[in-house]
Structure 1
Amino acid sequence: MVFNLRRLRRAVPGMIDAALVGVGAIGSMVVRAVLEDYPWIDLVAAVDVAPDKVGKDLGEVVGLEEELGLEVEDDLEVALIESVPDVVIVTTSSRLGDVFDTLLTAVGSGSDVISTCEELAYPWIVDPAAARLLDDAARWAGVSVLGAGINPGFMMDLLPAILTLPCTRVEGIEVQRVVDASKRREPFQRKIGAGMTPGEFRDAVNTGKITAHVGLEQSAYLLAEALGWRPLSIETSPVEPVIAERGVTTDYVKVEPGRVAGVRQTLRLESDGGRRIDLILEAYVGAEDERDEFIVRGRPPVHATIRPGVQGDWGTVGSVLNMIPTLLGADAGLLTVVDLIPRRPLS
């Protein structure tokens, strides 16, 4: 392993220099959050390949009224050499294959890496070879790589794992997340088919325009690992439409009664000993009982509900930024969020 001088420097409290890769919707929110809520993070580089963003001031790109004196670049390797960040924040894609080269470049620069890529939350079930290569590269460079966010990364894996702390035994866990999509960004509302007819929805699913939630399986495996369970089988339901019972109008779509308001998806993971994890995700415009609900069947049982549910976009931004100090002090390698909390041994 290469001795990493940046990690030695972090032993002294002070500012954390961060580079941002991806100045889209979530990346823009990261910029705003850093400026308003994180005085100990200094953005030293911003990278995006979109021609309409490259060469412009970061403040202009994210819609601020003032310039930040930081130009958006399109060459990641050069940006990292020039800025020498402690951590690289990657907010570009949900798919591991799309971010893999970016992650390797960041690791090769000697920076820790944290990403909102859902598949990176538990990449071994997506591409074991790529995960192993990334882990080896991170260990050699003496840095950490982590997939983080609201879901996966917290609501349906890390938080229910923490809720089992007072339990002497756990026999099963059910997590239900109901999201009022009318509070989310336009791309999200379009992605769940809001406003479509049921027929249009089926066609969109068949053509891949509407896909299952990326990260549900990652959450199940993360939770099982935190509990020390050995998964035996996992079954994810097809994406089902939630049909509107009343008219709903958002800033972006109009949904009439009988049309699609959003999606519902379920997952069941079976473990040895008859133990199981059930995850239920509903995201639709006009959801009246927006919540995150957790049922732990164990000794003692635990039943907790958060109303309204945690907002996804800002929740993702907060989850990522708040993990950075812990990540900088973590062991080198490809990590998951449950590596950073107390875990039960395999049982």
Structure 2
Amino acid sequence: MKPIRAALVGVGAMNRIVAGLLPEKGVEIVGAVGRSKAGQDLGEVLELGHRLGISVTTDAGAMYASARPDIALVATSSFMTGQYAVLADCARHGVNAITIGEELLHPWHTAPERTRELDALARRHGVTLAGGGFQDFFLVHQLAGMLGTMNRLDRLSGQQTFNVDDYGAEVARDQQVGAGVADFARWRQSDERPPGFGLPILAAIAAASDLTVTGTGFEIRPEVAERATPCRSLGITVGPGDLIGFTTVDTVTTEEGPVLVMELSGRIYQPGETDRFAWTASGDPDVRVVNPGVDTLRTTCTQMVNRIPDVINAAPGFVGPAGLPPLRYRARPFAEYLLERPRLAVN
């Protein structure tokens, strides 16, 4: 049985972890795309301690045509604006893809036109494009299962934090680390501000729970340094009074009545600070889930990797976790879990 062939799109902190996981799952890395490091060996770029014999390229199309990967593992930007062309390129070359970009978890409400375009493109070329990552189990399937224990849901409220330094310079810049409060206020009101991460998460939970979204609300506030705070991903020290990140509060109302709320804080952690993850569902009965000290960095990557067979097996189109089966552990090489699926010719 031939191994699954994978390409890495993005050669930063996240795909460094992914590259170490794939051999254990019988997945062969056959190509890599990066905005920089072109011509360098992927193993050296990812600091794996050995060469892989694969050169990083900026020409994704040429790599897909020559390497013919079964799936692309995308770890680049967080938002549709930076992901659309990447995923469209995958579809046009007949390559399945899964991304950990936060908005792409469930972008039907934040970027409906672009999502419809990607869905149609994927269907036309017979491939699956999927959103996933940390939110897959911990924020979609786990919470949907928790809500399934209730007789009546009135309100779902969640609080979560993440350390921006764990996710590289792109995320740190997205979280406005180092910005002044006045600059942040202008950015918050401008068209440059992308959608928050909370709405795709809440919309995905709603979809997994057969709830119909009727309205959304959004608040944002700065997280300000009280003392000089180093940011290792950007290589700077944030001065007192400047931003170490920000917190968003997203609210979703539904036709069926339940209200979903999520407070998400992405900032540079202080010494001793760890990830916070707590969700409370109010109704009959009240239920709560708390996951203290979850390794969000590594589980973001392990969940993307463990989704490889599900994405390849899924029907063509754009899907999120709510459109995939619950995550499961697979002990054998991933190729053994693949189903036969006819592919359409690339136009």
Sort the TM-score into its range (normalised by shorter chain): 0.7 to 0.9
1:145 aligns with 2:126: no
Question: Partner letter of residue 26 of structure 2?
Answer: W
2:268 alignment partner AA = V
Q: Which runs of 5+ in 1 are unaligned?
A: 1-11, 343-347
Alignment correspondent of 1:294? 279
How much has 1:290 moved relative to structure 2? 3.2
Quote the residue 1:88 is aligned against: 72
CA deviation after TM superposition for structure 1 residue 340, in Å? 1.5
Alignment length, in residue pairs? 322
Matches within 5 A, 1:1-347: 15-35=3-23, 38-50=24-36, 53-151=37-135, 153-181=136-164, 183=166, 185-194=168-177, 198-203=181-186, 205=188, 211=193, 214-237=196-219, 239-244=220-225, 248-249=229-230, 251=232, 252-254=235-237, 260-286=243-269, 288=273, 290-311=275-296, 313-341=297-325
Structure with the bigger RCO (C-alpha within 8 Å, sep 6+) is 2
Deviation track 1:33-59 (CA, whole Å, cap 9, x = no partner) reads: 335xx3411101112343xx2222111
State how far apart, in whole Å, the 2-side matches of 1:67 and 1:286 are. 34
Matched residues, percent identical? 25
Question: How far apart, in 1, do the equivalents of 2:305 and 2:144 lie?
Answer: 21
Q: How far did 1:196 drift?
A: 5.3
Counterparts in 2 of 1:91 and 1:261: CA distance versus 1, 3 Å: closer
Moved more, 14-23 or 196-205: 196-205
2:100 maps to a residue whose letter is: T
Aligned 8 A contact 1:179 1:309 in 2: no
| Paired amino acid for 2:97 | V
Amino acid at match of 2:4: I
Find the aligned partners of 1:108 and 1:257 in 2 and give their Cα distance. 48
In structure 1, C-alpha distance between the alignment counterparts of 2:167 and 2:126, rounded to whole Å:
38
TM-score of the superposition, structure 2-length normalised?
Answer: 0.81
Q: How far apart, in 1, do the equivalents of 2:111 and 2:261 lie?
A: 24
Gap runs ≥5 in structure 2: 327-347
CA separation of 1:258 and 1:98: change in aligned 2, threshold 3 A: closer
- Partners of 1:122 and 1:221 within 8 A in 2: yes
Is the 1:110–1:143 Cα contact (8 Å) retained in structure 2?
yes
Determine the structure 1 residue equivalent to 2:340: none
Q: What is the letter of the counterpart of residue 288 of structure 2?
A: H
Residue 228 (structure 1) shift: 1.2
Displacement of 1:319 = 2.0
Once the two structures are overlaid, the 10-residue window that deviates more, 174-183 or 246-255, is: 246-255
Label 1:126 to 1:267 Cα distance change in 2 as closer, same or farther (>3 A).
closer
Q: Are 2:61 and 2:89, in contact at CA under 8 Å, matched by a contact in 1?
A: yes
Structure 2 counterpart of 1:307, one-letter code: P
Q: Over residues 308-343 of structure 1, what are the superposed CA-to-partner deviations in whole Å (9 max), with x where a residue is unaligned? A: 2442x333222211111111222222111111247x
RMSD, matched Cα: 2.8
Q: CA–CA distance in 2 between the matches of 1:55 and 1:248?
A: 35
CA contact (8 A) 1:175 1:279 kept: yes
1:184–1:327: structure 2 CA closer, same or farther, 3 Å change rule? closer
Q: Which residue identity lines up with residue 23 of structure 1 in the other structure?
A: V
**SS in structure 1 of the partner of residue 49 of structure 2:** coil
Q: Is this contact kept in 1: 2:79–2:194, CA < 8 A? A: no
Matched residues in 1 for 2:43 and 2:194: separation?
34
| 2:77 aligned counterpart, secondary structure | coil
Distance, in Å, in 1 between the alignment partners of 2:78 and 2:131 is 10
